[in-house]
A and B are shown apart, each in its own frame.
Chain A
Amino acid sequence: MLIRMEDVKKDYPLGKTIVHAIRGVSLSFGEGEFSVIAGPSGSGKTTLLNLMGLLDHPTAGKILFEGKDVSTISDSEATHIRKKRIGFIFQTFNLIPVLTALENVELPLILKGIHSKERREITLKIMEEAGIVDIVKHKPDELSGGQRQRVAIARALVGNPDIVFADEPTANLDSETGLQIIHLMEEMNRIEEVTFVFSTHDRRIISLAKRKVELRDGKIVNDAI
């Protein structure tokens, strides 16, 4: 298993009260999966993805990345794993506004310390696969929502990660573009053999996933292939 969660809980303080965002989730994802975490707003989808993506620590339980317990690792260790093994796609695209599409995509390779010539080759290849090779010099504010999300997908994949977490990648897109983005992710999952775990509450998109994990009030209510 690539990633496994064992009875993971996550609580947030909210003023004087505690919000139980994740209430004892046990879940695992293997290599090459194309899975969706579905559920209504506030069900804990984003929190779950953040925990699996090592952006946050669980309050209780264990998260194992390739068998290694990563639930209490240091910030620098988590950063290292994210850099080498994990890709992220966000609902609001989260592209760096001052960088061009090409520069945004090659950013993970810069962080990995890959030489500029090799970096440029890898970046252009992935941008071609994502169908955005014609917008390499455009800045994010010159791109449409669909193009921005394609850039974000290329950025998530350029570092050759083992797993990509996408938090509601279609939420800010119209339904047609949203479908195109999911199809692109599906294609990338097939070509690059990368595990994709994405969250959504869009029924049409849920149906495209091979595995559906349904979350409600911080608990898994359904996990079906």
Chain B
Amino acid sequence: MLFKTAIRNSRKYLRRSIVIAVCIAVSTIAMQTMDSIGEGFKQSALRILLKKEGMILFEPGDDEPLDFAVHSIKDYSKIKKKVKEIIHDATITGIIWSPAMVINDSFSIETTVFSEDDLTGTILGEKTADILKSSPGDTVFLLGTNRYGGLSVFGTAIETTLTNYRSIREGRGIMMPISGARNFLAWDQDEVKRIRVNFNDYWNADDYVTQLKVVFPQLKITSWRERLTNIEALFRVTDIKMDIFSAIILIVVAGIIMNTVLTSVLERKKDIGTLRSIGASRSFVVLLILIEILFVSLIGALIGTGFSYLITEYISRTGISMESMSGTIEYLESTLYPEIVWKTWIGNIGFAILWAVIFSVYPVFYIVRMKPVEALREI
């Protein structure tokens, strides 16, 4: 009977029900869309950051060989093969100390990349390849002087190759393919100091680490979760920014809900007085009105979720261009794609309903605290 009465009341006072439902729908849309964009940002930042830092990182164990006064990992090729057996889509990058850096210990550049798998961004363009008498698609390395006057090795990206070439022409360095750089600097695979492993399923990094530790007990293997403990704090900042936007909408919605519910219960003052006079307790009346609010809010939250889904899907097709912010935020892809986290969305539905209930409490208690005789009065 309580549910039936509450649902019928919501239909009878349809205009007010619509206002409450729209309020809840708007707040649900705000929360869910903001969460999706925030999640997209987090995932994008995480992907870039993890790619740079390594989702799994191999470091020498205590019994690994000493080389250039520091430890290095032996059997790089063997490790690479084994890792691929466990993580099929793994991109494996060996990181070596630049010999130039060791010779000139004043260098600020710590490492350079030694990898056959991770060539993106270092592929030579057609025009530059012609200038260098090389082939398009070759990986080139810039061997140049740094500001301290020593030698340094950098992987070069296609878009910066021409700039670098100009530097070379001015006598500030030379450019050569990777094989040439390897020979020139006498790199050796046994000089690998760290191995970076990246893959798509990075949320399962810890599981992979457990498996890899069994195969390579002599090496120190860590997942990104173990190393990037501050990443949660970085994301919390993103969450806070998104939450502030949602909070503004929620505050406005709270005011509208409180006002609408107050008007609604005052309109039904006589009915409430009648219920109280025939023996309905205050809690019965509170429950009756709150069930109605719950029902209307649930409808609003579900409609809001439907709209949020459509909005998120629409944005996902084109993405949000972040070109204008690319210089200001370090870990940001040029286009941001929102990502739906259903668990969060369901939480948002619950929160929106709770929000409506919380801000209905004052009007509801205002009316039930009235003496029945006052509620029964026509004016």
Contact = CB atoms under 8 A, between A and B. Distances in A.
B277 A108 contact: no
B186 interface: no
A111 interface: yes
B1 A83 contact: no
Contacts, number: 73
Contacts of A97: 12, 271
A56 B371 CA distance: 7
B277 A53 contact: yes
Given A103-B1, A111-B284, A82 B277 contact: yes
Contacts of B277: 53, 55, 82, 88, 94
A50 interface: yes
Interface residues of A, number: 31
A159 B284 CA distance: 18
A88 B376 CA distance: 12
Nearest to B9: A98
Most buried by A among B8, B9, B11, B275: B8
Interface in B74-133: none
B372 A55 contact: yes
A155 interface: yes
A138 B282 CA distance: 28
A90 interface: yes
Interface of A: 50, 53, 55-56, 75-76, 79-80, 82-84, 86-88, 90, 92, 94-99, 103, 107-108, 110-112, 155-156, 159
9 contacts: A55-B373, A82-B279, A90-B274, A94-B274, A97-B12, A98-B12, A108-B279, A111-B278, A112-B279
Given A79-B281, A92-B378, 16 more contacts: A55-B373, A56-B371, A80-B279, A83-B278, A83-B279, A88-B278, A90-B274, A92-B270, A94-B274, A94-B277, A98-B11, A103-B1, A108-B279, A111-B279, A111-B284, A159-B279
